[in-house]
Amino acid sequence: MMMTCINGTIKGYWYRDGYVRTTSTEYSLSNNGSNIHLTNDAVQKNLPEYGKYEKGNKLSYDDLATYIDKHHKKKNKSFY
């Protein structure tokens, strides 16, 4: 979503196509390192495992939906 304000007029734009940022390190309750919690490219791109799971640590909405469908079929969940 993007919000703009020009001359006092506020407009919002919703883009159906987008992406989800991911991290290079698997989440763990015992590890509080910032590289797990910060998905900003400026932080992630300097880590040795950057891009290990998906190119540029980014998934399109369609790719995320496919992953959820494949790995969580029994839970009957959908991204959309």
Which residue segment(s) compose the domain that 23 sits in? 18-75
11-31 confidence digits (pLDDT tens): 998 887 888 888 887 777 777
pLDDT, tens digit, for every residue of 41-70? 777 888 888 888 888 889 998 998 898 888
27 falls within a domain: yes
Classify residue 13: in a domain, yes or no: no
The torsion angles phi and psi of 52, rounded to 5 degrees, stand at: -65, -40
| Burial class of residue 54, CB neighbours in 10 A (0-12, 13-18, 19+) | middle
Domain membership of residue 8 (yes or no) is no
How many Å apart are CA 31 and CA 25, to the nearest integer?
Answer: 10
Number of domains in the chain: 1
Residue 3 lies in a domain: no
Q: Give a three-class secondary structure readout of 13-67.
A: ECCCCCEEECCCCCCCCCCCCHHHHCCCHHHHCCCCCCCCCCHHHEEEHHHHHHH
Per-residue confidence (pLDDT) for residue 7, from 0 to 100: 94
User: Do the domain assignments include residue 4?
Assistant: no
pTM of the model: 0.61
